[in-house]
Amino acid sequence: MSQGRNGGTADDHPGHPRSPPGVTGGAFWSACALDFTRAIFGGGDFSGCRFRGSVSFADADFVGDLISFDEAGFLDGAITFRGARFGAGAVTFNDARFNGGTVSLGHAMFSGCTVSFVRAQVNGGRVTFADAQLSGANVRWGRLRPPGDGTG
């Protein structure tokens, strides 16, 4: 169960916010400002989501077996994981695309988990890890793909 900063709860898989059947164009959260500050995620599937604008996972706790951002798009905005804590299990950003904008994992703490960025691609954006801490964590970078390499 995920609990938000105001005591609200959400399912372990927060609605898997893809477009409803018959609607094209990716996830339908893409135009929303999202605030998951201090939320607790006991699992979650954000795979295929498109995040645009202001999205905060600041000081959130990711403690479930799997939190997936696989094939997610982080587009033209400010997305922060500042101070987030990644515990047991795996957090995956495999095949994610970071296009424009900034994704900050500054001051994030990774302990006893696997974090994977296999085949992630950065195009004109920034992904920062300033003052992030690793303690018993396994980070898999894979081979970050430069723009226009013909593989995607």
pLDDT in tens, 109-147: 999 999 899 999 888 888 888 999 989 888 888 766 545
Contact 20, 42 (CB under 8 A): no
Q: What is residue 129's predicted lDDT score, i.e. its pLDDT?
A: 87
Q: What is residue 84's predicted lDDT score, i.e. its pLDDT?
A: 95
The proportion of the chain whose per-residue pLDDT surpasses 70, expressed as a percent, equals 72
Q: What distance in Å separates the CA atoms of residue 66 and residue 41, rounded to the nearest whole number?
A: 10
Q: What is residue 30's predicted lDDT score, i.e. its pLDDT?
A: 58
Q: What distance in Å separates the CA atoms of residue 21 and residue 85, rounded to the nearest whole number?
A: 34
Contact 93, 69 (CB under 8 A): yes
CA angle centred on 21, ends 120 and 53, rounded to 5°? 45
Q: Where are the domains of the chain?
A: 2-140
Tokens of 51: 């995040």
pTM: 0.73
Contact 105, 83 (CB under 8 A): no
Q: What is the CA radius of gyration of the chain?
A: 15
Closest CA relative to residue 107, chosen from 134, 147, 79, 141: 134
Q: What is the overall mean pLDDT for the chain?
A: 78
